[in-house]
Amino acid sequence: MAAAGALRLLVPRGRLLPPRRGLRLSAPAAIQVTVRDALNQALDEELERDERVFLLGEEVAQYDGAYKISRGLWKKYGDKRIIDTPISEMGFTGIAVGAAMAGLRPVCEFMTFNFSMQAIDQVINSAAKTCYMSAGAIPVPIVFRGPNGASAGVAAQHSQCFAAWYGHCPGLKVVSPWSSEDAKGLLKASIRDDNPVVMLENELLYGVPFEMSEQAQSKDFVVPIGKAKIEREGTHVTLVAHSRPVGHCLEAASILAKEGVECEVINLRTIRPMDIETVEASVAKTNHLVTVEGGWPQFGVGAEICARIMEGSAFNYLDAPAVRVTGADVPMPYAKILEDNCIPQVKDIIFAVKKTLNI
Amino acid sequence: MPLETFSCIVFQCQRTVRNDLRLYLLLLGNYICQYCSRFVFLFKASRVMVASRNYADFANEATFEIKPCDLHRLEEGPPTTAVLTREEGLHYYKTMQTIRRMELKSDQLYKQKIIRGFCHLYDGQEACCVGLEVAIKPTDHVITAYRAHGFTYARGVPVREILAELTGRKGGCVKGKGGSMHMYTKNFYGGNGIVGAQVPLGAGIALACKYFGKNEVCLTLYGDGAANQGQIFETYNMAALWKLPCIFICENNRYGMGTSVERAAASTDYYKRGDFIPGLRVDGMDVLCVREAAKFAAEYCRAGKGPIVMELQTYRYHGHSMSDPGISYRTREEIQEVRSKSDPITLLKDRMINNNLASVEELKEIDVAVRKEIEEAAQFATTDPEPPLEELGNHIYFNEPPFEVRGPNQWIKYKSLSHS
């Protein structure tokens, strides 16, 4: 498989590879897996597990995927299960939704979620609402996936974050993985879910390796949708993020730790249904909240978290107003210096933490 | 002979025959009535009306010439004659009449404000949904746009459940959650409100048909207005590329809301708009034409030849919806002309009577039965309770453990349950 191939590149020479399943010579070891390979594994495993699952999108088959997420799958599963589409988002998204209504379990890839805007009617009006309108008679077990948000130097039309747009709509589930475990576990959970799931990946994370536990390497490993994960425990401030900014938060946390500030970093994992309880419990402990996201500030994920914290029990535990760190409120510019300053950076998170802690 | 008929004859005789003959007839009639009176109870109870002809007198079937279809990229088209059996004829008649009366009842209920929102009526187009349904199997699939009540009935949803859905009651076919534009049943995917969006969905259903390999087809319907939607052309392309068993059907009723076809389309040959996809133009007011064309199309698809386009030339008597009187963009004369010359139900009725497949009385009986069914359904639809408030949160997801849904403020919560 592709994962094994990538693995060989990552393991330093002279070190034994962990033995194959079933023949343990030493204690089970975690391995380094890139997000790309984790997604590839998830697709492979789910295609094998359920013959109703199929993948369609632009370049997913013979090109091995625009970002190589589906590498090797067409060769293994053929034309019936891995389908190259023409450049017709509205058309092929509608076709995927119709196939789901008729009992298949499609994975519909958008080359980037920017192109999903052309098909957004099919995602919302056909996929999200049909189960409700039909009083449960017509479920739509479909996954829409692809890279979301800012990349590097791709400018305004290719850099938008859709977490707030899709997170707004009842009937959808929206997930946003950060690590390889997130990616694999959430994709598997999404494919097995009987409802329409929007999976917002991140192009800049595809090549990043993460440690993957033995448990996560199992074919049955799923990450439950709707549950956040505490990536780092802390006592002074709660940092809540999703997708790539989770990494920035952890970086900020390790820098702040040297100054004696212990940050609790929460990886949301799911945008809808949002696990606000984990955030509330954390805020009750730390009394300070900073949300971090790549998308624009107005009506964003951070705005939703702040509103819910205000409405819930955690409000009484806040020692300072909740603070948001977001993308700059402009279409994404191209020049590197401009682009860099439109994305929340580690320094921006640190600044926000210090502001809210008044240090 | 019914009592009424006999008395009628006596009455007639009184004006033309001499008194003594009159008296004789009256006495004879009295005697017969007394003799018959013991049977009157039986007749009345069982509502038997002895027709002037015996059922054995009817023909079993008749063959009709039907209008040939215009063809696009096809060497041969559907047959130009159709055989109609007596049984089929009665079934088509009853179904079309039921749809007609159901739509007229909906018109009534809408004007009484018992039906709200959008209501797009199908009267005039009955031959389309009935002709299509009888040409395919229950295991085939159908998807259409918002003018869907006729298809909903044809696919098996009872009238009472359709009307109760229109009136927003819990006995509606989707518990009052959908309304006029969102009715569903097995192998019927609605009822879709966004113009043209159902067409890619239909091709997707066809993809599933091909994937599962059960030799099923999907009828994917849209109107002359929707025919100009870009996503339909994207769908034509993929359906042809992948040879999907999708029958694209354009119900051309000459008007997309208030815009005539000439004002909306550079090419009004909707059966040719599939370009590389073969097409048929069909007389959509003749249920036999529609049936034969649909059988032809279904056979084409099942043979694995890929998609096909059918244009059904039809007409709607009502405006686009109940908020459109339907006379600002067309004349009353035009509507009246179609009604008098091309009404699908009248066409079938005349054929059956003129070819001894049924009698006038028999068809009248069916009319009476249909009216009764519609009345009872309307009664149900106006008395059944609205769905309970708890239903508000249900069925957001499928096969999901119960969870809480936010209401208009943070303190109002609804529970969301779903099927498993």
Tell me how far apart the alpha carbons of residues A289 and A291 are, in angstroms, rounded to a whole number: 7
Residue B387: per-residue pLDDT:
97
> Is A122's Cβ below 8 Å from some Cβ in B?
yes
Lowest mean pLDDT among A156-165, A288-297, B30-39, B303-312: B30-39
Residue B10: per-residue pLDDT:
44
Residue A295: per-residue pLDDT:
98
Q: What is the dihedral of CA A119, A132, A307, A304, to 10 degrees?
A: -20
pLDDT category, B57, cuts 50, 70, 90?
Answer: confident
B346/chain A closest Cα distance in angstroms: 35
> Is B35's Cβ below 8 Å from some Cβ in A?
no
> Is B202's Cβ below 8 Å from some Cβ in A?
yes
Residue B31: per-residue pLDDT:
59
Q: Enumerate residues 162 to 191 of chain B having a beta carbon within 8 A of any beta carbon in chain A.
A: 174-175, 177-178, 182, 184-185, 189-190
Tens digit of each residue's pLDDT (9 = 90 or more) over B151-169: 999 999 999 999 999 999 9
User: Would you call A103 and B207 a contact, using CB atoms and an 8 Å cutoff?
Assistant: no
Q: How many CB atoms lie within 10 A of CB B150?
A: 28
Among the partner residues A137, A195, A311, nearest to B397 by beta-carbon distance: A195
Q: Does residue B351 register a pLDDT over 80?
A: yes
Mean pLDDT of the B13-17 span: 48
pLDDT category, B6, cuts 50, 70, 90?
Answer: very low
Residue A29: per-residue pLDDT:
85
pLDDT category, B11, cuts 50, 70, 90?
Answer: very low
Tens digit of each residue's pLDDT (9 = 90 or more) over B332-342: 999 999 999 99
| Full-model pTM | 0.89
Mean pLDDT of the A73-101 span: 98
ipTM: 0.91
Residue B13: per-residue pLDDT:
44
Tens digit of each residue's pLDDT (9 = 90 or more) over A21-72: 555 555 568 999 999 999 999 999 999 999 999 999 999 999 999 999 999 9
* Residues of A known to be catalytic: 89, 158
B328/chain A closest Cα distance in angstroms: 31
Mean pLDDT of the B16-31 span: 60
Residue A234: per-residue pLDDT:
98
> Is A227's Cβ below 8 Å from some Cβ in B?
no
User: Would you call B235 and A273 a contact, using CB atoms and an 8 Å cutoff?
Assistant: no
Tens digit of each residue's pLDDT (9 = 90 or more) over B184-213: 999 999 999 999 999 999 999 999 999 999
Higher pLDDT, B49 or A114: A114
Q: Does residue A225 register a pLDDT over 70?
A: yes
Picking from B212, B395, B412 by the largest number of A CB atoms within 10 A of its own CB, the best residue to mutate is B395
Tens digit of each residue's pLDDT (9 = 90 or more) over A319-358: 999 999 999 999 999 999 999 999 999 999 999 999 999 9
Within 8 A by CB and 6+ apart from A258, the residues are none
Lowest mean pLDDT among A38-52, A76-90, A221-235, B45-59: B45-59
Q: Does residue B384 register a pLDDT over 60?
A: yes
Residue A298 and residue A329 in contact, taking contact as beta carbons nearer than 8 Å: yes
Mean pLDDT of the B53-75 span: 90
Within 8 A by CB and 6+ apart from A322, the residues are A289, A290, A291, A305, A306, A309, A310, A356
Cis peptide before A273 (omega within 30 of 0): yes
Residue of B nearest to A54 (CA): B211
Q: Does residue B46 register a pLDDT over 50?
A: no
B185 interaction partners in chain A (CB closer than 8 Å): 137
Percent of chain B exceeding pLDDT 70 equals 86
User: Would you call A94 and B200 a contact, using CB atoms and an 8 Å cutoff?
Assistant: yes
Tell me how far apart the alpha carbons of residues A63 and A59 are, in angstroms, rounded to a whole number: 5
Residue B21: per-residue pLDDT:
65
Q: Does residue B49 register a pLDDT over 70?
A: no
B212 interaction partners in chain A (CB closer than 8 Å): 103
Q: Does residue B283 register a pLDDT over 50?
A: yes
User: Would you call B396 and A91 a contact, using CB atoms and an 8 Å cutoff?
Assistant: no
> Is B409's Cβ below 8 Å from some Cβ in A?
no
pLDDT category, B37, cuts 50, 70, 90?
Answer: low
A36/chain B closest Cα distance in angstroms: 28
Tell me how far apart the alpha carbons of residues B237 and B420 are, in angstroms, rounded to a whole number: 37
Q: What is the dihedral of CA B4, B6, B12, B17, to 10 degrees?
A: -160
Tell me how far apart the alpha carbons of residues B119 and B106 are, in angstroms, rounded to a whole number: 8
Tell me how far apart the alpha carbons of residues B197 and A121 are, in angstroms, rounded to a whole number: 8
Residue B25: per-residue pLDDT:
62
Q: Does residue B19 register a pLDDT over 50?
A: yes
Residue B153: per-residue pLDDT:
98
On average, the pLDDT of chain A sits at: 94
On average, the pLDDT of chain B sits at: 91
Residue A206: per-residue pLDDT:
98
